[in-house]
Structure 1
Amino acid sequence: MLRRLLLALASALLLILAWPPRMLAPLTLVAFIPLLWVVREIDYDTEFKGKKGWAVFGYSFIAFLIWNVACSWWIYYAAAIGAVSSSLFNATAMALMMVLYYKGRKNLGPQRALISLPAYWVAFEHFILRWDLSWPWMNLGNAFAGAPDAVQWYEYTGTLGGTLWIWVVNITLYAWLAKFQRQHQTVRQWLRLALRLVLFILVPLALSLQIGAQYVALGDTADVVVIQPNVDPYTEKFNTDDIEQTRRILAIADSVMDDQVDVVLAPETALPGGLNEDRLDREPTIRLIQSWLRQYPNTQFVIGASTYKVYDRPQDASPTARYNERAQYYWDSFNTAISITSDTIQTYHKSKLVVGVEQMPFRSTLQPLLGEAILDLGGTTGTLGMQETRDVFPHGTKDLKVAPVICWESVFGEFVTDYANNGADFLGIITNDGWWRDTDGYKQHFAYAKLRAIENRRSVARAANTGISGFIDFKGNTLQRLGWDERGALRQEVFLSNAPTLYQRYGDAIGRLAYALAIAFLLYVFVRGRVKA
């Protein structure tokens, strides 16, 4: 028992060391071998007497729970229940996939069952990118955010391709070790293993380096400024006058401004007080920014805000609208990106919402039971409104379109491609990572933006309230950055592109294929199991 526990802990430790912000992502290529060995030993052991499935689940659950908690415990600062539930759910689901693999060993055979495991895992990751309780932070392909040079081919596959690669290498090495234990290998078998390692490890790495080398920074550019005001979201941000905060942001921008700047990015909910979307042009903060922009008539200012919309007629209300019983009207609250020039205003509403903070999952079922039971963190909380399309902000005087990617949205690869498909020339990410305090959370969030740059071959400009603000090129390399608890502005010429990548066109096609394979494996395993019984 101790031996198996140590093997499970070894898998957990390898996964922890591989995860950003640590730069040891290649450890994922061997991290599952100890756990696969645990399953093998349980399968061949007579000790458990009909409880082998539970044993596989138990050891796997321990490994995956430790990994998830160690890499995402910081959620606790924003939502304690979220930290607990996300780790428990992920660990349970991942352990169940190991149980499915164990069951498959009986009906598919040990070798073919190994093939089913990547199908289950990729299908699971694809699923959690899309349902109401989505928490894709720990998807395996994200590990290489710490080593973007190794996965330049994400422009073809997205992060699910990375997940598949990790599993293929793990099962190849595990299968060889299992065979080696049974019998010594001949020279031919050693050569066969070496060939597989070259094929599955060195070829993808060489391909990545070759792809990265072919991209050269040429073409049109935009002069972009990002602002990091460094306001504490727990004490200062939502207790300070909006006008004062706006003046502070403009003063920070002034330190790097001139009339050549094309775009200024300020963080998510930098205007937290609640702006009425039906009269944005009359809001004091917006008018202050427009007045400031008269010095810079060719500059576009993109800033995050808490906004709301009142519906005059009940039939106009959206599915997320709330009802004000006292005033008898429906209204929506939004986490919004606002594009401001000296004479125009445009809005985009955040549409990937944080479960339990900005969105009630399974709203139609749970709201009648719980009401608006959403954690209140100040600012844009409650069940927020969304929109169907990923709008981009065209520049007023230049042939340029900015993608207003808001915070949590930047974790969803296929979702972000919709901005690029709608004409975005670069990705403008605005976020408020201060909720997580000085932990790995904001570092991971910044690292994941590198994967979005690769998938879309778009430069990234990132403005955080605090955390990391900076610039990332279309190969995932950090060009400039401001760190935790720093106030300031950065300015960078970012290269523009509107050429589509394969991933933009087909999205997570690997995930859709994995669904079909996973269903086929499940049907075979359980139908055949019943026939045998």
Structure 2
Amino acid sequence: MSLFLPDRTTLISLVSGLLLALCWPRVDATHLCWIALVPLLLVMENRPFRSGFAAGVGFFSLLLYWLNIVMTTFGKLPAPLSLVVYLLLVAYLSLYIAAATWASSRVREKLGLPYAATLPIFWVACEFLRSFVFTGFPWGSLGYALVESSTLLQAADLFGVYGLSALIVFVNAVLAAFIVAGRRHSSWPWRLAATAVLLLALTVGYGRWRLAELPDESERQLAVGLIQGNIEQGQKWNPDLQQRIVTTYADLSLRAAKMGAKLLIWPESATPVFFQDGGPLAEQVSAIPERSGGSSLLFGSPAYTWVNRERRFLNSAYLLDGEGVLMGRSDKIHLVPFGEYVPMARFLPFVHKLVEGIGDFSPGTVSPLPLNQSLFGVLVCYEAIFPEIARDYVNSGSDLLVNITNDAWYGRSSAPFQHLAIARMRAVENRVWLARAANTGISAIIAPSGEVIASTLLFTPDVLNAQVGLGSAPTLYKSFGDTPAILSLLLGLFWLIRTRQHYSAN
């Protein structure tokens, strides 16, 4: 029982987690990321697992508070049950930070390596594991804290978000090492300090060079219009409001076309019907390209396919050319657990409230949509938080990334701002433009530098017109992906095996 009882060490570690959460929108206290882990590093030596777990609880409980809004407002879960599910998720995610601090301390103790060497490796390894274990949930990777630092952000095209995470943890560990040296009156860790200064200088220098080297305009450009219908979640599937919803999107689309948009982009599940079934509303959608004077239309719509006489649902994006001819369909690849399907559904019947009336969805494959000798890679909803999906689309020839999403679930919380921040990283990693159409906002145009060129407000019907470049520049990340994170995982495992051998030898 004493394992998780709060004491001074636990409370200090909790503060570290809270400081990390403040680096995220909407607080955006980015500079805190360089010192947030210092309290944890100063106290975790004797109780590394508990310290890491407490830091994780502080971080994820504050970062993901909005999950309660989703579960109670839209999942219709009773508040007490919602709180239990929320706390269980926070506890699960906190285990990854606890594992990183425990493993780091063990290697430090057995092999004599400093935290500045061990913690960045294990932190990245655990963040990487969190991105795919149990389907993955990489929301909250530490590197996203640098999204608002335009110069440092540019290094993401080298090693991705995990590389930035490693840099942040390393700097924190060096600062903590100086404090410890001062307390113990031991020699100052000047070599570590010099390494930290060198890494920061190289990162800043690279970022400035990259920003200066990026072209102001691409040779190939496309005028896009993002359509933000602002349809309330409770209205989206009301049969009495279907015509009004389609009319809203049609009117906004014609307005965007008059402003010069050649590609109109609607959000995720914008159509309140199955477009593939046809009918009057589907015909109205198909007529929009011709009514707009020849603008193409990319829109989200639920779809389905038949597998062994069983209807399986899909979360899809359709592309119509300027004459209303269907050019292709792209289906969501990474489904939301407990949102679009229920893992172990027979053992968790209460969770069906979160997907009531929708049923289990099936995943798609990487399928860029073709139009006028260009390809568009469509990231549906929270697929934007998975670096490998965006990279796969760009490496498959996509000239533009399009993120269609419905963030109405999150209400007026910080989640839409967090979601946008994560999407910005995908543009930098792949040096490609990203157009983001969100039902209730935030819709945005993101440059290959990660800069938000233009954006909308939350919960307002709006149109966002802009010129985007087509094509992507070569990057180290596109070539090697998350290989550094995989190497961190392998190195961490090697170290842990060495500690076992060291223990046996003694």
Larger radius of gyration: 1
Please report how far the alpha carbon of residue 258 of structure 1 lies from its aligned counterpart in structure 2 after TM superposition. Answer: 3.1
**Shift, 1:260, TM fit:** 4.5
SS of equivalent to 1:68: helix
Q: Report 1:67-78 matches (<5 A).
A: 67-78=59-70
The alpha carbon displacement at 1:148 in A equals: 3.7
Q: What per-residue deviation string (whole Å, max 9, x for no partner) do you get for residues 139-179 of structure 1?
A: 11122223343210111111011111112212222223222
2:24 & 2:263 partners in 1: Cα distance?
33
Residue identity in the other structure for 2:483: A
Q: CA deviation at 1:368?
A: 6.0
* Structure 1 equivalent of residue 74 of structure 2: none
Among 336, 341, 350, the residue aligned to 2:332:
350
State the distance in 1 between where 2:370 and 2:220 align. 15
Q: Alpha carbons of 1:349 and 1:155: their partners in 2 closer, same or farther (altered >3 Å)? A: same
Note if 1:382 corresponds to 2:387.
no
TM-score (norm 2): 0.89
In structure 1, runs of 5+ residues without a counterpart are 43-54, 315-328
Take 2:460 and 2:476, find their aligned partners in 1: how far apart are those partners?
A: 38
Say if 1:69 and 1:32 are closer, same or farther in 2 by CA, change over 3 A. same
SS at match of 2:139: helix
Among residues 86, 94, 105, which one is paired with 2:97 in the alignment?
94
- Contact map agreement 2:10 2:50 (CA 8 A) in 1: no
**What code does the residue aligned with 1:407 have?**
C
Q: One-letter code of the match for 1:139?
A: S
Paired position in structure 2 for 1:200: 199
Give the whole-Å Cα distance in 2 for the aligned partners of 1:370 and 1:506: 39
1:3 to partner: Cα distance: 4.6
Counterpart in the other structure of 1:16: 21
Q: Distance in 2 between matches of 1:158 and 1:230?
A: 33
Tell me the residue number matched to 2:285. 289
Letter in 2 for 1:89: Y
The answer to whether 1:174 aligns with 2:176 is yes
Question: How far apart are the structure 2 equivalents of 1:193 and 1:104?
Answer: 18
Q: Distance in 2 between matches of 1:287 and 1:393?
A: 21
Runs of 4+ in 1 over 6 A off after TM superposition: none
Deviation at 1:460, TM superposition (A): 1.3
Within 5 Å, give how 1:504-515 maps onto structure 2: 504-515=478-489
CA distance in structure 2 between the partners assigned to 1:194 and 1:509 by the alignment: 27
Q: Which residue of 1 is the match for residue 367 of structure 2?
A: 391
Q: TM-score, normalised by structure 1?
A: 0.85
1:323 maps to: none
Hey, what does 2:58 align to over in structure 1? 66
Q: Does 1:401 align with 2:400?
A: no
Does structure 2 conserve the Cα–Cα contact (< 8 Å) formed by 1:372 and 1:382?
Answer: no
The partner residue of 1:108 within 88, 95, 111 is 111
Alignment of 1:5-404 (within 5 A): 5-40=10-45, 42=46, 55-79=47-71, 80=82, 83-109=86-112, 111-112=113-114, 114-183=116-185, 192=191, 195-218=194-217, 219-233=219-233, 235-240=234-239, 241-258=241-258, 260-275=260-275, 277=276, 279=277, 282-296=278-292, 298-311=294-307, 314=308, 329-341=309-321, 342-361=324-343, 366=344, 369=347, 374-377=352-355, 381-388=358-365, 390-395=366-371, 398-404=372-378
| 1:502 match | 476
% same residue: 25
Q: Judge conservation of contact 1:256–1:491 (CA < 8 Å) in 2.
A: yes
> Contact 1:267–1:304 at 8 Å: present in 2 too?
yes
CA displacement, residues 80-105 of structure 1 (integer Å, 9 cap, x when unaligned)? 36533331111122113212223233
Contact 1:20 1:145 in 2 (8 A): no
- CA contact under 8 A between 2:433 and 2:468: conserved in structure 1? yes
Correspondent of 1:481 among 455, 458, 463: 455
Deviation of residue 438 (structure 1)? 0.3
Match of 2:78 in 1: none
Distance 1:286 1:508, change over 3 A: same
CA RMSD of aligned residues (A): 2.4
SS state of the match for residue 105, structure 1? Answer: helix
